[in-house]
Amino acid sequence: MKSLAIYDLDDTLLCGDSEFHWAKFTVSKGFIKKEVYLKKIKAFEIDYRSGNLDFDEYCSFLLNPLIGMDVDDLDELVSEFIETHKEKLIDPMTFDLLERHINEFRLVASGSLDFIVKGFTNYFKLDAYLGSSYEVKDNKITGKLKKAAFAHGKLEKVREWCQKNSYIVEESFFYTDSINDLPLIKVCPRSIIISPDKKLEQYALKNNIEILTR
């Protein structure tokens, strides 16, 4: 069986935050007022970097403009988003990281909403993805978060996926930039840290974890 390589998405596989750019995209489409967006997104960014993000509130903010949208229409919107924002989110390291494991099974595991994670997974032609799932009724988005893939929630989702697909988390490669991924880092001895913040950098240095700088 192939080895498993797990990639975080934002600021790891991508050189920016996909949901930040998604929010800007929804502003450009008229889904969110610019003033509301600027105030909220900056506050969420500060909380995320400090490890104090209210993840449910954050996801509700991103999902609210999509309430009532048909999921098939959302797929088309995500394709448009990636085409118009890929130059801001993809850099040479993106392809370097993917090339490292071109002959292995490549899984994207991200706290981002799974329609975004799915979009980039398909764009890069990777094998599978895990993201934060949202509620759909009668093929319409309700605006409610279903199951988060954030912090310990990401570890749980990865473990469940590995059990179903006969992989072992502890034998996998894992790439991330975020201190919020510490639960998964701790169980993956093959973790590689990408341009970390100070907290994660200190942890990586103390535990002899490889650091790559973008």
CB 78 within 8 A of CB 119: yes
Which pTM was predicted? 0.94
Give the CATH number of the domain where residue 184 resides: 3.40.50.1000
What are the beta bridge partners of residue 145? 134
CB 171 within 8 A of CB 2: no
Would you state the pLDDT for residue 52? 85
Would you state the pLDDT for residue 49? 76
Would you state the pLDDT for residue 48? 80
What are the pLDDT tens digits along the chain (214 aa)?
789 999 999 999 999 999 989 989 999 999 888 877 778 888 888 888 777 889 999 999 999 999 999 999 999 999 999 999 999 999 999 999 999 999 999 999 999 999 999 999 999 999 999 999 999 999 999 999 999 999 999 999 999 999 999 999 999 999 999 999 999 999 999 999 999 989 999 999 999 999 999 9
Helix (H, G, I), strand (E, B) or coil at 129: strand
Q: Kindly report the CA angle at 91 between 45 and 98, in degrees rounded to 5?
A: 100
CA dist., res. 152 & res. 147, Å (int): 12
* Paired tokens of 164: 């179903």
Number of structural domains, the chain? 1
